[in-house]
């Protein structure tokens, strides 16, 4: 009846806990509107001789301070355009982008450029270092551009940043005289030149070997630990495993993060189709969601809050089978096997729970269209039934033993 994302029903890995924390931020704190980055109904349409093409279709996204966020999606999904909206490099056709409390598209182009130099560090896939300048001089450029720090202090600060990324011995070399991994490290030092709170990286490891890529992600993790916020576009699943949160875009629309984490074997178009069919429901503390012995018509995923799965004995003593949190799901046993609910499910006493509900017909269609998901959920059902029988035997022994 209940499971974490296609794994053992009640055991959580560290990755599950990471997903739970990130989705709680997305679904809870976002509503308070206190994020470092707030995108509201952002639309981007391009026009050419063939007509209009909408790349971003009403993006709503909040990123909190101190998050390390990966943006993933197929080629042409809109992820690079999304990144350009955050950096202010491109203009949205509609909507609002607020970063650090500043509506960046209410500025003039020149003011936005200065704002970007002071508040945003950008790391490009192809490094974009000026080839005629040394690594030290490249790292100084943002300080020179925005007039930050005293003139004599800039070389010292640039050297300190190169030391941070392990390049102090290469400081006076030209970019072509060092490896590609070292060029990317220099680009990160340059991005940190004005001590911006936000770093944006577009495929930062795309041109690096695995060892160099590992070093860059290690550096990103260290920067996040020290308070930076990093937003990174990537195609590499091994990198998303190390971020605190993954945002998936498909056809210009953000896939619900709970869906992406709970049902990872779906394709992106399938995730998007599920996202569009979900119903949001809110249950207050202690309110029953599913009664024992009733027909279940929905597959539920927890967007925020917690629920208790309870077995009720003949003496009406309740035995807590499990407490489920953000990213967990329930209802799959009754939908897969038929029959009535084998337990009570209710919102935890500590507060309300927000659920995403998928109707039976849509759930069955999802399984038909994704054999891998069908197999995984069937395995979860079998494991869950074993746990339920074991718990039921323990409860009967306590009641009548």
Pairing of strands 279-283, 288-290: unpaired
Helix runs in 244-370, H state only:
257-262, 268-277, 332-337, 360-369
Judged on CB neighbours under 10 Å (0-12, 13-18, 19+), 156 is exposed
What is the per-residue pLDDT for 342?
79
Tell me the torsion sign for CA atoms 87, 91, 93, 99: positive
What is the per-residue pLDDT for 165?
86
**3-state secondary structure (DSSP) of residue 299:** strand
- Give the closest residue to 339 by CA, choosing from 321, 314, 360: 360
What is the per-residue pLDDT for 7?
52
The residues pairing with 43 across neighbouring beta strands, listed in sequence order, are: 57, 94
**End-to-end CA gap in the chain:** 27
How is residue 381 annotated by DSSP? H
Instruction: Please tell me the total number of residues recorded for the chain in this structure.
Output: 401
Contact partners, residue 345, CB within 8 Å, separation at least 6: 1, 2, 288, 289, 290, 300, 307, 308, 309, 310, 330
Q: What does the alpha-carbon distance between residue 253 and residue 53 come to, in Å, rounded to a whole number?
A: 14
The residues pairing with 245 across neighbouring beta strands, listed in sequence order, are: 69
Judged on CB neighbours under 10 Å (0-12, 13-18, 19+), 308 is buried
CA distances from 356 to 143, 153, 233 (A): 47, 54, 27
Across the chain, how many H-helices and E-strands are there? 13, 19
Range 221-226 contact pairs with CB under 8 angstroms and sequence separation of 24 or more: 221/68, 223/192, 223/199, 224/66, 224/67, 224/68
Q: What does the alpha-carbon distance between residue 131 and residue 148 come to, in Å, rounded to a whole number?
A: 23
Strands of the sheet with 344-347, listed across from one edge: 288-290, 344-347, 307-312, 318-324
Tell me the torsion sign for CA atoms 100, 101, 105, 106: negative
Q: What does the alpha-carbon distance between residue 262 and residue 384 come to, in Å, rounded to a whole number?
A: 16
368 near 315, Cβ under 8 Å?
no
Encode the chain (401 residues) as per-residue pLDDT tens digits.
Answer: 554 455 534 333 334 445 444 444 443 333 345 689 999 999 999 988 888 999 999 999 999 999 999 999 988 899 989 999 999 988 999 999 999 999 999 999 999 988 988 899 988 877 889 999 999 999 999 998 888 889 989 999 999 999 888 889 999 999 999 998 889 889 989 998 988 999 999 888 887 778 878 888 888 899 899 999 999 998 887 788 889 999 999 999 999 999 999 999 999 999 999 999 999 999 999 999 999 889 999 999 999 999 998 887 655 567 788 899 999 999 998 899 887 887 899 999 998 999 999 999 999 999 999 999 999 999 988 888 887 777 655 544 333 33
What is the per-residue pLDDT for 393?
53
Tokens of 131: 């080839």
22 near 245, Cβ under 8 Å?
yes
Tell me the torsion sign for CA atoms 313, 319, 320, 321: negative
């Amino acid at each position: 009846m209940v499971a974490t994302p296609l794994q053992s029903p009640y055991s959580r890995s560290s990755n599950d806990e990471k997903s739970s924390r990130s989705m709680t931020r997305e679904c809870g704190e976002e509503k308070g509107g206190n994020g470092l980055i707030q995108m509201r109904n952002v639309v981007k349409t391009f026009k050419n001789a063939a007509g209009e093409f909408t790349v971003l279709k009403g993006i709503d996204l909040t990123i909190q301070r101190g998050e390390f966020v990966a943006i993933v999606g197929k080629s042409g999904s809109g992820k690079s355009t999304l990144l350009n909206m955050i950096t202010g490099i491109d203009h949205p056709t509609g909507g609002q982008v607020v970063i650090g409390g500043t509506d960046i598209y209410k500025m003039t182009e020149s003011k936005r450029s200065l704002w970007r130099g002071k508040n945003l560090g950008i790391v490009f896939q192809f490094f974009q270092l000026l080839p005629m300048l040394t690594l030290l001089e490249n790292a100084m450029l943002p300080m020179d551009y925005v007039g930050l720090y005293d003139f004599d202090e800039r070389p010292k600060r640039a050297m300190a940043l190169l030391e941070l990324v392990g390049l102090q011995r290469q400081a006076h070399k030209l970019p072509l005289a060092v490896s590609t991994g070292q060029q990317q490290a220099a680009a990160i030092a340059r991005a940190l030149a004005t001590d911006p709170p936000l770093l944006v990286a577009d495929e930062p490891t795309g041109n690096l070997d695995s060892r160099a890529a590992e070093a860059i992600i290690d550096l990103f993790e260290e920067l996040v630990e020290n308070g930076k916020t990093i937003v990174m576009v990537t195609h590499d699943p091994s990198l998303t495993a190390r971020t605190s949160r993954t945002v998936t875009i498909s056809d210009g629309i953000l896939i619900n993060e709970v869906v992406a984490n709970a049902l990872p074997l779906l394709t992106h178009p399938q995730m998007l189709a599920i996202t569009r069919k979900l119903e949001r429901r809110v249950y207050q503390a202690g309110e029953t969601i599913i009664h024992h012995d009733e027909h279940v018509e929905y597959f539920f995923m927890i967007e925020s809050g917690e629920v208790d799965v309870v077995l009720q004995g003949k003496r009406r003593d309740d035995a807590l089978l499990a407490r489920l949190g953000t990213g967990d799901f329930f209802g799959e046993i009754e939908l897969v096997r038929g029959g009535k609910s084998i337990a009570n499910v209710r919102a935890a006493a500590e507060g309300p729970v927000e659920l995403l509900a998928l109707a039976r017909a849509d759930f069955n269609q999802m399984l038909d269209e994704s054999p891998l998901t069908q197999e995984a959920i069937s395995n979860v059902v079998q494991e869950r039934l074993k746990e339920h029988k074991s718990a039921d035997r323990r409860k009967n022994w306590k009641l009548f033993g």
